[in-house]
Structure 1
Amino acid sequence: MKKLLFFLIGLYLGASELVIYNDLAFVKEKLKVDRGIIAPLPRSIIADSLYVPGVKYYSFHTGGLDQKVLLRSLLGKKVRFVHRKKELVGTLKSYDPIIIQGEKRVYFDVYFNDLIFTNLSISPFPYIQTNLQNGKADIAYLMRQISWRASYVAKINKKLALQGFMHITNNSGKEFKDSAITLIAGDIARARRVMPLKMTKALMDSNAIAPQSIQGYYRYDLPGKWDLKKSQYIAFMQERLDYSNLYEVSFYNVLYTNTTLKQKCNRYILFRSSKPLPRGTIRFYTQDIFLGEGVLKNIAPKEQVKMLLGKDFDLVAKRYTLHLQRDKKRIAAKVRYEVRNPKPKAVDVVVKERIAGDNLQIHSEKNYSKENGNIAFHLHIPSQSSIIWEAEYILLK
């Protein structure tokens, strides 16, 4: 935990900063010390990650403040209270006994249960007790229940228009004001321990949030200062890319069945981005028609993306078994494949045949490749035409 904390500390330069990973955040902020108390801290803080430089002695408390500690931290501040069924505001002058200076008089007959603590966002909340009585202290810590994820919209026409969004979700109970925010994309090793969002900001300039590579991760520094309450929705990139379609169909059990099989082809879209793409959901559209969606893994710049859109409606492949023979020495099957393209454009189709076994002989009228038990036929089929070929598979026992 400490190694991770110091790694994250190394990413920062300022005094009020927040780095967010998936359900983990590193916070560095300057908080006021009031009579030895630093509060409130989020309930989702990871206690053994707390780092308070420059303070010689301090202790961390996970439970709520008791009455005296709470009132001591409010000395000299405005408080709300109920007196004779009226809600009033005054300055707390003493906490033992409670004395409040009102607008027109001093109140001596106010009790703890008469006070209204609406300014406390978390109750009970963790706090730090320190030998530093007043002033400000720099603190750093890790916390849970704050995360971010990416999502993408891809509109397909002559080009693929790709736009990426960042969704930041804060369920920690702590609000961050005027903070520098950095998002980290990557798989950080951690020790095991026992839908729609409101759009609050959109940065449409694709260069506004430029990713930086650092020690195997990508960091995204959000420009300016941010107030983070429950959620943020931010556009962080947009590109116009070349793309291509690929159709695939897979057959199985060619050596063990003699039935005719008919399969619709899966449609994939292939593209490459010049930018790193953090993991997230990607949705495809064309002419306001929803084509499909999938989950994009963490993609490096220039790495090929292959996303399944669904099954094509009219591109169909068939496999006919012409001959099937089994004996003590071998299993042999002769099949015919047919792929018909009724589309007005030529298509690229990959027909895969899954056959397990090392002693496999293949005789085919079409060229093929073989990898991890998959025999693949790569076809370019002109518009409104079909390709038919035969293949024989012999598995020696």
Structure 2
Amino acid sequence: MAKRAFLFGCLFLATNQTACQSFAGVKPMSLEWEKATLREAPEASFELTLYQDNWALVTDARPLELGRGRQLVRFSGIPPQTVGKGAYLQVPASVEGRRFRYDLSNKEHLLEKYDGKTVVISDATSSLTAQLIWTGSGPVYRIGDRLYPEPPGKVSLPELPGIALTPFLEWLIEPPESWSGIATASYQVESLGWTNEYTLITNEEQSRGDWKQWAALSNASGKAYEKARVTLVAGNVKRIHPPFPMYYGGARAMAEDASVEAFAGRYQYRLPGFFDLGKKAEERVALSERKNAPIERVFRVEGGVSLFLQPDPELPRKARIRLHLDNPLGEPMPSGKVTVYSPGSDGKLAIAGEPSIPDTPKSQRLVLDLGEAFDVTFTRTQTAYRLFEEQTEVSTLIKLKNDQKFPITVEVIEQASGDWTVTESSLPYEKISTTQLRFQLRLDAESERDLSYTVAVKRERRQ
């Protein structure tokens, strides 16, 4: 039982990058951070791998010189939003321990460091000393023989030896021999990521358009990066940590498109050149574009067959504008918002809609829903309702009206439940599923057109 418990401890330490020896009667060595020789690694170069749910993997390469024996390698100047768990250091040495230090990460964490220490409480006219007692949920102050949950003034903290006023990562290592070279640390950082966006500028008829893909880079991690290599990963990666909100800002164009390549079942973009991402930076980078892409505009009408008597016609409803187009970039398209601009009669552009698209393979067709059309309307009327022993027959009339100055394509989608069959129809139709039928027709400019059909639905026999 003891060996089993010790083995579990070894596995736990190993996941935290701590060396653990065999459980066959050998105890793991204790971690003596303060006694090890400190080796500060100065900043040199960064590679940032940004993910769409606002986090990043930072590859931090720094020059480092190591002697023999146990040493403490410190990477200072890292972001306050660093995630210490999972940080990894690549050096030719055995790594015995790792820790992330930043005592100003929040107020509670700082005050906990002063548990049992003497602090000063002052107001406008006087000051006094008190003992801070940390309760686990907040501080309590002992003044004389009394306890105060709230301090009677402003609290000032004395300087405390060993307190980490700036964030840093440390590894306790022991190399077999002296070494000089580049040590590479990899660690996760929150509030440093990217979102994918698109713009589509169409002609007045929305039959063609210029398509452009943008990457919105955001850095709210608390650290500025200079001359960093940047890779963007498309698609969400499963993590324990929740995403943080994104921010947006100005735009930047690159001399060449970012190349897209497959990566672990997803795709990534390697941005050419180097990037400066300052604190609270918000920057857009053009990734790719396609000029004069063909578009099919369809006005969609949706309704359903009612198996109940409906003597009154429905009120007029508006069709929805949908743009259909083949993948305009000819490559996998990450999910993102599409801002569609279209010109008015005066040629000035205005936003026609802002739909979102899911992750889209390169062979998949896109559909952009722009919302309701103002002057393409329809009404539905139940013109016949007949009950028979074995089936119910329902006849429907749909009146379509186009008040635009352009001819349009209309797609009518009707929902039907049960075991149904179309017995009559004024136009050809397509049964696209067990619950849907589809009509498609052209409607001239400033015209009306009727569509009628009859559906027979089998009735369930009662036992």
Range moving further from structure 2, 25-34 or 151-160: 25-34
Amino acid at match of 2:51: Y
Find the counterpart in structure 2 of residue 21 from structure 1: 51
Aligned to 2:360, the other structure's residue is in SS state: coil
Q: Is 1:170 paired with 2:219?
A: yes
User: Residues 127 and 378 of structure 1: is their aligned pair in 2 closer, same or farther, counting only changes over 3 Å?
Assistant: same
Q: What is the 5 A alignment of 1:1-397?
A: 16-22=46-52, 23-31=54-62, 36-40=72-76, 41-54=78-91, 55-64=93-102, 113=159, 123-131=165-173, 137-157=183-203, 159-188=208-237, 190-193=238-241, 197-199=248-250, 202-205=252-255, 207-229=256-278, 230-231=280-281, 232-240=283-291, 241-256=293-308, 257-261=310-314, 262-272=316-326, 273=328, 274-287=330-343, 288-326=349-387, 329-372=390-433, 373-397=435-459
Q: Is the 8 A contact 2:318 2:373 kept in 1?
A: yes
Q: Give the distance between the partners of 1:31 and 1:38, measured in 2 at CA.
A: 11
Amino acid at match of 2:47: E
Offset of 1:363 from its aligned partner?
2.4
Find the counterpart in structure 1 of residue 41 from structure 2: none
Q: Is the 8 A contact 1:176 1:228 kept in 2?
A: yes
Q: Give the distance between the partners of 1:333 and 1:215, measured in 2 at CA.
A: 52
Q: Is the 8 A contact 1:27 1:140 kept in 2?
A: yes
Q: Which string of whole-angstrom CA distances, capped at 9 and with x for unpartnered residues, describes residues 68-125 of structure 1?
A: xxxxxxxxxxxxxxxxxxxxxxxxxxxxxxxxxxxxxxxxxxxx9599xxxxxx9452
Q: Give the distance between the partners of 2:360 and 2:352, measured in 1 at CA.
A: 22
Q: Give the distance between the partners of 2:453 and 2:340, measured in 1 at CA.
A: 37
Aligned residues: CA RMSD? 3.3
Offset of 1:191 from its aligned partner?
4.5
Q: Give the distance between the partners of 2:225 and 2:382, measured in 1 at CA.
A: 66
Find the counterpart in structure 1 of residue 3 from structure 2: none
User: Residues 198 and 364 of structure 1: is their aligned pair in 2 closer, same or farther, counting only changes over 3 Å?
Assistant: closer
- Give the aligned length: 333
Q: Give the distance between the partners of 1:51 and 1:114, measured in 2 at CA.
A: 29
Offset of 1:302 from its aligned partner?
4.4
Q: Is the 8 A contact 2:414 2:437 kept in 1?
A: yes
Q: Give the distance between the partners of 1:64 and 1:286, measured in 2 at CA.
A: 51
Offset of 1:249 from its aligned partner?
0.7
Aligned to 1:57, the other structure's residue is in SS state: strand
User: Residues 144 and 362 of structure 1: is their aligned pair in 2 closer, same or farther, counting only changes over 3 Å?
Assistant: farther
Amino acid at match of 2:169: Y
Offset of 1:239 from its aligned partner?
1.5
Show structure 1 runs of 5+ residues with no match: 3-13, 67-111, 116-121
Amino acid at match of 1:144: E
Find the counterpart in structure 2 of residue 83 from structure 1: none
User: Residues 383 and 64 of structure 1: is their aligned pair in 2 closer, same or farther, counting only changes over 3 Å?
Assistant: closer
Amino acid at match of 2:339: R
Offset of 1:152 from its aligned partner?
1.7
Offset of 1:252 from its aligned partner?
2.4
Aligned to 1:49, the other structure's residue is in SS state: strand
Show structure 2 runs of 5+ residues with no match: 1-13, 15-43, 66-70, 105-157, 344-348
Q: Is the 8 A contact 2:260 2:269 kept in 1?
A: yes
Q: Give the distance between the partners of 1:43 and 1:343, measured in 2 at CA.
A: 56
Q: Give the distance between the partners of 2:208 and 2:451, measured in 1 at CA.
A: 34
Q: Give the distance between the partners of 1:341 and 1:294, measured in 2 at CA.
A: 24
Q: Which string of whole-angstrom CA distances, capped at 9 and with x for unpartnered residues, describes residues 226-247 of structure 1?
A: 2222332212222211112111
4+ aligned runs moved over 4 Å, structure 1: 32-35, 112-115, 132-136, 193-196
User: Residues 154 and 204 of structure 1: is their aligned pair in 2 closer, same or farther, counting only changes over 3 Å?
Assistant: farther
Q: Is the 8 A contact 2:335 2:356 kept in 1?
A: yes
User: Residues 388 and 129 of structure 1: is their aligned pair in 2 closer, same or farther, counting only changes over 3 Å?
Assistant: closer
Range moving further from structure 2, 284-293 or 51-60: 51-60
Offset of 1:32 from its aligned partner?
5.4
Q: Give the distance between the partners of 1:29 and 1:130, measured in 2 at CA.
A: 18
